[in-house]
Amino acid sequence: GQQVMQIPQYQHVQEGEDFTTYCNSSTTLSNIQWYKQRPGGHPVFLIQLVKSGEVKKQKRLTFQFGEAKKNSSLHITATQTTDVGTYFCAGPRGGFKTIFGAGTRLFVKA
Amino acid sequence: EPEVTQTPSHQVTQMGQEVILRCVPISNHLYFYWYRQILGQKVEFLVSFYNNEISEKSEIFDDQFSVERPDGSNFTLKIRSTKLEDSAMYFCASRRTWDSPYEQYFGPGTRLTVT
């Protein structure tokens, strides 16, 4: 069945360093969504990407959707301690199912 | 800002007991979901619900699970006979439309502990 792989599983950075997480799907996705989950919290929607090659920015966060619509990345420039949490990509499978990647847990050291 | 609510926040139950987890989705949303997250692991899809019926379910969602929208506002997940491995955080989510935006709004979750 369709899988969504995400790497790395964990990333430790010093505050001010950049961070990137990568998401790969075994099949083409109609769209991809990114969520952030703070420790002890629930997933919160960050953004959706729909078009091939799409790039979107939210302040220090840059999201990309691959040309083949099978991979995506989230890049954070100059991390801050408020960026701590787990970042998940998610894509639709079939009609009504959403598959989440395993997530990348970001640790930021002040 | 409207939000999804879930009750209880924490439920402790004995193995073999029935539990009902409750959710109130955002009022004008049409699509509803239950997810499970075992501690430290990924968010796993359980079931989606639209127009008062299940639209899709995962392999995890076996005969022990059921969902209901009894009164047009609450959305419930029932586990008939809980097992130790059902211990997890259960999230309810809702979505306004089928087309874009695809954003799902998650509730704060119910932590289920089966002893």
Instruction: Give the per-residue SS3 of B4-22.
Output: CEEECCEEEECCCCCEEEE
User: Residue B82 has what pLDDT?
Assistant: 97
Q: If you search the block for the tokens 């847990």, which residue do you land on?
A: A105
Q: Are B55 and A96 in contact (CB under 8 A)?
A: yes
Which chain B residue has its CA at the smallest distance from A92's CA? B102
User: Residue B23 has what pLDDT?
Assistant: 97
Per-residue pLDDT of chain B (115 residues), as tens digits, is: 889 999 999 999 999 999 999 999 999 899 999 999 999 899 999 999 999 999 999 999 999 999 999 887 899 999 999 999 999 999 999 999 877 778 999 999 999 999 9
pLDDT band at residue A2, thresholds of 50, 70 and 90?
low
Which chain A residue has its CA at the smallest distance from B56's CA? A96
Q: Left if phi > 0, otherwise alpha if psi is -120 to 50, otherwise beta: which for B47?
A: beta
- B75 by Cβ neighbours in 10 Å (0-12 / 13-18 / 19+) ranks as buried
Tokens describing residue A79: 């991390």
User: Residue B4 has what pLDDT?
Assistant: 97
Closest residue to B42, CB basis, from A44, A48, A100: A100
Closest residue to A97, CB basis, from B48, B107, B108: B48
- Residues A20-69 pLDDT 10s: 999 999 999 999 999 999 999 999 999 999 999 999 999 999 999 999 99
Q: Are B108 and B22 in contact (CB under 8 A)?
A: no
Which chain A residue has its CA at the smallest distance from B32's CA? A96
Residues of A in contact with B31 (CB under 8 A): 96
Total count of residues recorded for chain B: 115
User: Residue B100 has what pLDDT?
Assistant: 74
User: Residue A75 has what pLDDT?
Assistant: 98
User: Residue B24 has what pLDDT?
Assistant: 97
Instruction: Give B 25-54 residues with CB within 8 A of chain A.
Output: 31, 33, 35, 41-45, 48, 50
